[in-house]
Amino acid sequence: MPGKTLFDKIWDSHVVAEEEGETLVYVDRLLVHEGSRHSFTMLRNIEMPPYRAEQVFGFADHYMPTETTEGGIPGVRDNKIRGMLELMEKNTSEVGVRYFGFHDPDQGILHVVPPEQGISQPGIFLCGADSHTSTHGAFGSISFGVGASEAGHIMATQCLWQQRPSPLRINIDGTLPFGVHAKDIILGVIAKFGVGIGVGKAIEFAGSCIERMSMEQRMTVCNMTIEAAGRMGMIAPDETTYEYMEGRPYVPRGKLWKDAVEYWSSLPSDEDAVFANEKTLEVEELDPMVTWGTNPEMTLPITGTIPFPEDAENEDQRREIQGALDYMDLQPGMGMEEIEIERVFIGSCTNSRIEDIRAAAEVAAKGTAKVEAWVVPGSKSIKRQAEAEGLDQIFTDSGFDWREPGCSLCTALNGDLLNDGQRCVSTSNRNFKGRQGPNGKTHLASPAMAAAAAITGKLTDVRTLE
């Protein structure tokens, strides 16, 4: 028998039953947020408590205001947003779910706080009420997003019916060039292999570059697996993983820690494991990447030029390019660095961790923001750490707005949104039409590239700044 992949080992250890091409799997942990109200309603309607409430974790992030938290929830001006926050507090308190809520000192985004707390661990099956739950796969777990009814099913039974995806390995090899970051890697993967590369796949990222990455960099790569249509993204656990995790609140201690590391060390894919497909990206071929269109595949090096529709491979692609050009108000042949912008957003579950904020601050210190620029840390603990390092002062001295933790402009559900038609450089994960506000034009980029755009007022190659 051939060896097993990382995915196979975890999946097989969580199978409860199989029937007609679907598998009932045991779910170790579930993450929910304010938008998960329907899941709680489902349980309330059938008068059923969560099967294992201690394995469900709640977060205030999607609807969390980031301008100020003064006055608490009663001080939230928008009635709808205030109501969502109040309902989440009620739902979690009634059933005994640990809630990193409005007043919690560790409040933050549901894909930022669990790694900080040690909730995200190797070898587990983790589901979240948000598509970017793939982030947690950076720890060597099966992690993916679910809808409200699926989340309700998990709360009631701690199990979920799923079709088994097939494993795909993407090897990321080489050493990151100057000015190129983890965000550029995942944008480069999607640009090279397409937004459909991961359909029906569990993507394992491997290779020499991945092995040298920090956990925060790995989380950025896995976060946008969903933008490549992957069901989940995964990276095998190693010493970098264990060093990051040790001592965090939900991580085993003492002998249990040693036992856990011994088990986790057995998870990486066997040398003779068979993948449905394999792809390779050499990072030396990457420049800083920025999206120009209306899906993440529409990405170019900052040194590139906007494509001509007539150069498309087929009519469908030509129409797609033309539609993106019309929406983004761009002309074929113009250089990426010719594109002037009006807003910058540094934050989201993709790029709001301390390493992201440090990278942005290093660039922000080189000038003064020419456009409205927001920096939104991913959690209160990150905010405290950044302030202890003086990063907030660098931003404010450079004209950036230092805000409270939350999803903010990534979701535009919380009062934070672009004005009609504004063009924004964003460190978030989606550049769809209207994603950040009505007719908003979004260019995805790394934190360093976003900060560079803020101080120049246009898309800018961060490598050229002195």
Calpha distance 314→11 (Å, rounded) = 39
| All residues at 6 or more sequence positions from 439 whose CB lies less than 8 Å from its CB, including other chains | 420, 421, 433
**pTM value?**
0.97
375 beta partners: 346, 402
Q: Which domains does the chain have, with CATH numbers?
A: 1-287 (3.30.499.10), 289-464 (3.30.499.10)
> Would you say 449 and 295 are in contact if contact means Cβ atoms under 8 Å apart?
no
Tokens of 210: 């991945």
> What's the token pair of residue 242?
């264990």
- Separation CA 30–CA 101 (nearest Å): 16
Task: Name the nearest CA neighbour of 112 among 186, 59, 185.
Answer: 59
Note the pLDDT of residue 25.
98
Could you give the angle at the alpha carbon of 225 between the alpha carbons of 378 and 295, nearest 5°? 90
The tens-digit pLDDT sequence of the chain (466 residues) is 789 999 999 999 999 999 988 999 999 999 999 999 999 999 999 999 999 999 999 999 999 999 998 889 999 999 999 999 999 999 999 999 999 999 999 999 999 999 999 999 999 999 999 999 999 999 999 999 999 999 999 999 999 999 999 999 999 999 999 999 999 999 999 999 999 999 999 999 999 999 999 999 999 999 999 999 999 999 999 999 999 999 999 999 999 999 999 999 999 999 999 999 999 999 999 999 999 999 999 999 999 999 999 999 999 999 999 999 999 999 999 999 999 999 999 999 999 999 999 999 999 999 999 999 999 999 999 999 999 999 999 999 999 999 999 999 999 999 999 999 999 999 999 999 999 999 999 999 999 999 999 999 999 999 999 8
The pLDDT of residue 2 is: 85
Q: What pLDDT does 294 receive?
A: 98
Please, what is the Cα angle at 340 between 334 and 345, to 5 degrees?
125
- Asked whether the CA dihedral 444, 101, 159, 148 is positive or negative, the reply is negative
Q: Catalogue the long-range contacts made by 116-120 (C-beta closer than 8 Å, 24 or more residues apart).
A: 116/248, 116/379, 116/381, 116/382, 117/248, 117/249, 117/250, 118/245, 118/248, 118/249, 118/250, 118/251, 119/29, 119/31, 119/57, 119/250
| Concatenated DSSP letters of 250-273 | TS--HHHHHHHHHHHTT-SPPTTB
Is residue 289 helix, strand or coil?
A: strand
